[in-house]
Every structure is written in C-alpha cells, then in structure tokens.
Amino acid sequence: MSTGSGHRRLLAIGLDSAPPEFLFGRCLPEMPNMRRLVEGGVRGVLRTTDPPISIPAWAVMFTGVDPGTLGFYGFRHRLHHSYNQNYAPSSTLLPVPSLWKILSDRGRRVCVVGMPPGYPPPPVNGYYISDFLTPGGAPETTYPPALAKELEARYGPYRFDVTFRATERHQLYRDIVAMTQQHFAIAEELYTRERWDVFAIHEVGTDRLHHAFTKYFDPTHQDYQHGNPFEHVVEDYYRIVDQSIGRLLSLIDDDTIVFVGSDHGSMPMSGCFCINQWLVEKGYLSIRHPVPAGTPLEKAPVDWSRTSVWGAGGYYARLFFNIRGREPEGSLEPAQVPEVRARLLRDLAAIPGRDGQPLSVEVLDPHQVYQQVRGDPPDLMAYFGHLRWRSAGSLGHPTLYLRENDTGPDDAVHSFEGIFLVYDPKVKDGREIAAQPIVDVTPTLLELLGEPIPGHIQGRVMPGIRPVARTSS
C-alpha cells in the first residue's frame, strides 16, 4: 500500500455491533462481497473501548483518542454532580476533530451517512447525515440542511432507528431491513454525485438485529428454542447487508481503500444485576420506605443524608460517591471516601452470581484507564459477569438477578471484540492479523491515505496493516 502513489480515497463502512464470529464466521458464506474483501484485504479483531458502547466507541474509532479524553463514558452522563439530570453525548461535545473534520479542513471532499457522533450534523466540506441518536422532530438532520428535504422527497422520512425494545418481532425485522436498505440506497446515490475523497456510512441495523433476535438465532442463549421462526434471521439479514455493500463496492475505483469496522461485538445476555438494590442491602444506599418492583432510582424516596454510594444501570454500572461539597446532599466527608471505596471494592468482588458461584465483577477507575478524564465521568465503572450481566438501576425487585432487562426486552449485550478490515484494490493480501485497539483506526486510515497524523492523536498506525515486503535476494 504505497501512500505516495497518486491520490487515495476512502470508503468506510461501519456495521454497529457486528461480531467477528458472525461477520468473519457464521455469516461469511452468505456474503460474497464481504468474502471478496476478506480474501483481498487485511482483517482482524478490533478491541473496543472501555466501556464497549457505541458512543464512545465510534467516537474513539474516528478521532484516535480515548473515551476519557473525549469525555464520553456511555449513552448517558449525569449533568455535573446532580442526582438525576442526564445528558447524551453529541457531535458538538467532541473536544477534538473527527477524521471527517480533519480531512474536511484539509480541503478533502467528505460525505458521511449516519456516523456517530453525528447529531447535530457537523459542518463538513461535503455532506453529513446525522446519526441514530438524532432526537425525533430534530430541526436539522443534514449538513447542509437542504439535503434532508431532497432525500425525504425521494426516499421518504429518513429512518434513523427502529424501536427494538417495543415492537413485535416480525414487524421489527421488516423495519430493520427497510431501514438498512434505505440507508444504503441513499449512500449509493450520494456516492455517485461526485468523486468523494472520503465516504462513510454507519448502519445501526446490525446492532438492532443482535439485540432483538439473539435468543432466536444463537443456540448458546439461555432461552433459545430450536425450530423457532427466526432461527436463520441472522444469515438472512447479513445477506441483505452484503448485497448493499456489494452495490457500493461496484462504484469504487482502484484508488479507493475500503475500511469495514464494527464498534464492538455482541453476545447473549445472561440477565441484569440490580446494582442499586444491592447497594441498599449493603447499607450504602438508603431509601425511606419500600418501593414497587421496577421503581427507577430517580422516583425512589432516597435518603441522601444516609447514602454514601449510588449507581446507574445500563451495559455496565456507573457508581458515584455522595460527597459533601460535591453532591447536592453529600453525606461523605472527602476524607472518608478512600475507606468507603476500599470497602465497596471488597463487597463488589464478593458478589455471588445467580448460581452461587462468584459473579466476577471488574471495577475500573476512569482516572486509571484513560489518558485524560474530561466531562462528567462516573467515580467507578463496574462490569458484571464479563458484561454478560447488565446493570439494572431500578429498585424493589424480589431478587438481585433479573432474567430480563428492566428497561425493555433485550437478548444481547456487548462484547469487547469488534472487527476491522482494510481492503486496497491495488494489493492482494488476505491476511488475518492480531487484534488491534480501536484507537488505532484513525491514525491508520490517515497513514493509508498519505495524510499527516495530528499530534493530539493517541493511537498509532496498526503494525502489520501493510503487506509484508517481499525482498528479493
């Protein structure tokens, strides 16, 4: 992959949540276009962020800095030190430029379809369609704004997402397919409008398929039933994704490098561990009277004067100390925090699983895992059962171990293993290389495009991404 020869372009395809076991494994026989990329490119496992959640993972993939440096710790952050005010990360909160912005600023022509964090749609030297986190009724969903109307006239209302935790499954599958086909149809049309230097598309349908159908197609899920009507839905869907990718690939020229990536993998969910209920049982969190099952913490009568620690649910548990002078009704003196923290870590480590064996709780301190800690980080981050157990923040359940998600049906959780693939039409390769960190994607793509790598980028160029030089003796 010579970077000095000619003007290289990039087509980046982001498949949210697509796990290596499916994209490079079970579904590959159904995917002739992906097979062509695999057989000609370099690929491997992409080790995702802590935590393995779409935001921050996509943001890290396409900025080259870690989640703490971005101040993105998940889908929700508490506003400063409030107890129940939250905000979602957005494109305007990015403290460093994305790959698209870096190249835009260098005069390259850029078109981005739905890549997170993409709301509000960032101004680029080209087009940007906002992402799946676009709020309903958002006034502007494209840059430039006029593009939205033009696309809607031709393709109908843009399908930002599906409601995967509420819709009946037959309808949901049709919705996911319609969304994916619409995104790729729009991408195809935009792709042919000019010779883009950089073109990127993100597809969230892959993530929705795994969340909504894993128990139907994955025999290792605890509720899998052989012979169910959705047993082959994963092959069917990935075949459709592959056809869409194939149509885009038919439009590229030999100067276009293709990147395919996923922000994390997916695996069956075992259940939810009720973190706040456990904190109540252990005396860290105090509520004034019992509450009905499923009561969110925000609606519970918390006695903050007798609360030292509380948590928030999701793929992982965010844990917060209730510190005097920091929280509105802080109860812990700052000098008490180290002792409470040490006791909490011991208690977390001793949590048994539903089967009586240790649950396996991994606790991370943002200040120890990130190069910088910006924004509103949790004090501690806890993963339960290697993330096969979600964290439920609600209270009043008859058990600490829920079989189902407390915020709507969900079959899957995220794994640390996403994928990457780089395909250069000018190079015959076909290697699988060792797992690479997600923070390395942006510097690697800049290098392949022959572009300088800005000094603030923390990732490095993936070693082994170029073909081994064949030296003649």
CA terminus-to-terminus distance, the chain: 22
- Cβ 17 to Zn ion shortest distance, Å: 5
382: three-class secondary structure by DSSP:
strand
Closest approach of Zn ion to the CB of residue 265, in Å? 9
Residue nearest to Zn ion (CB): 54
* C-beta closer to Zn ion: residue 172 or 332: 172
Cβ 324 to Zn ion shortest distance, Å: 38
Characterize 172-198 residue by residue with b for buried, 16 or more Cβ atoms within 10 angstroms of its Cβ, and e for exposed. Answer: bbebbbebbbbbbebbeebbeeeebbb
3-state SS class at 13: strand
As a whole number of angstroms, the longest Cα–Cα distance in the chain is 81
Nearer to Zn ion, 16 or 429 (CB): 16
E strands, 306-348, in order: 309-312, 317-321
Smallest separation (angstroms) from Zn ion to the CB of 375: 19
Looking at beta carbons only, is 54 or 415 nearer to Zn ion?
Answer: 54
Q: Work out how close the CB of 403 gets to Zn ion at its nearest, in angstroms, rounded to a whole number.
A: 24
Shortest distance, CB of residue 199 to Zn ion, whole angstroms?
A: 21
Place of tokens 């970077």: 3
Distance in angstroms (rounded) separating the CA atoms of residues 377 and 312? 12
> Which residue lies nearer to Zn ion by CB, 53 or 147?
53
From the list 403, 314, 377, the residue with the least C-alpha distance to 53 is 314
147: Cβ contacts below 8 Å, ≥ 6 apart: 127, 129
What distance in Å separates the CA atoms of residue 279 and residue 247, rounded to the nearest whole number?
Answer: 52
Residues 280 and 31 sit within 8 Å (Cβ to Cβ): no
Instruction: Read off the tokens for 230.
Output: 């959705």
Q: At its nearest, how many Å lie between Zn ion and the CB of residue 54?
A: 3
> Which residue is it, tokens 């009568």?
301
| Relative orientation angle of helices 233-249 and 32-40, to the nearest 10 degrees | 60
Q: How far is the CB of 34 from Zn ion (least distance, A)?
A: 19
Nearer to Zn ion (CB atom), residue 66 or residue 263: 263
Q: What are phi and psi of 380, to 5 degrees?
A: -140, 155
Interface residues toward Zn ion, by CB under 5 A: 16-17, 54, 207, 263
Q: Which is nearer to Zn ion, 218 or 263 (CB)?
A: 263
